Amino acid sequence: MLVNNCHIVKLLGMNYIYILEIGDVNDLDFDKLTEDLDGIFDLKVKKVGPIEKPDFAFDKIRKQYDAKKVLNDVCQISFLNSEKMLGILDRDLFAEGYNFIFGQAESPGRCCIVSTFRLDPRNVNKKFNSDLFYERVLKEAIHELGHNFGLSHCPGKSCPMYFSNNLTDTDFKGMRLCVKCEKLLEMSK
């Protein structure tokens, strides 16, 4: 008899969100991120990588990395028990029509990416602050994973699902989903 292992894994509640480090991402507390995302999405979270730097996605004219190419690459990676794949890289990402983007996600879907580049105070001529940097990455990780679970942008400015145009928006957001988004997340699982 043929057995679909994915379904067995799902029934046993063993599905994971994988955090995939793309190239070396320095100064980010991956252990804390793993723990926090576990608490928010109520799924096991596992950090893997680093894999190679995404040189293939570099755009020589824009001197930035093409988010679509990086996301496609992350979507190719799959483990038997991977419910979601969150790629994290420290390169500056762009998408058509935007000067830069903080991240991109399949919505709904299985994979997403977050760039730490614009979230790092040093890249906007500010002093490094590890707590601030970490919080920004956590908020954007929740945002992109939220899209994977089918959540849309939220009008609540303090909800991580609010669309950040800039760092001021990101810094205003909280680190927990609003009640409405939390309910939608529960329904989507």
Residues with catalytic function: 144
Show the beta-strand stretches assigned E in 52-189. Answer: 58-59, 64-66, 82-89, 93-94, 103-105, 111-115
Residue (113 or 159) nearer to Zn ion, CB: 159
**Which one of 156, 167, 175, 176 is in contact with Zn ion (CB under 5 A)?**
156
Bridge partners, residue 115, by sequence: 89
- Which residue stretch of 23-31, 61-69, 119-127, 174-182 sits at the interface with Zn ion (rule: CB under 5 A)? 174-182
Identity of residue 7 = H
Residue 181 found at the interface with Zn ion (CB under 5 A): yes
Read off the tokens for 140: 């954007």
Q: Considering only 40-48, 88-96, 119-127, 170-178, which stretch makes contact with Zn ion by CB under 5 A?
A: 170-178
Q: What is the 3-state secondary structure (H, E, C) of 150-177?
A: CCCCCCCCCCCCCCCCCHHHHHHCCCCC
Count the neighbouring beta carbons within 10 Å of the beta carbon of residue 103.
28
- Comparing CB distances to Zn ion, the nearer of 23 and 156 is 156
Cα 75 from Cα 111, distance rounded (Å): 6
C-beta closer to Zn ion: residue 17 or 181: 181
Residue 71 is a binding residue for Zn ion (CB under 5 A): no
109 binds Zn ion (CB under 5 A): no
Residue 178 near Zn ion by CB under 5 A: yes
Minimum distance, C-beta of residue 167 to Zn ion, in the bound complex (Å): 15
Cα 139 to Cα 141: distance, rounded to the nearest angstrom: 5
| Residue 161 found at the interface with Zn ion (CB under 5 A) | yes
74 scored as a contact of Zn ion (CB under 5 A): no
**Which residue ranges make up the site for Zn ion (CB under 5 A)?**
154, 156, 159, 161, 178, 181
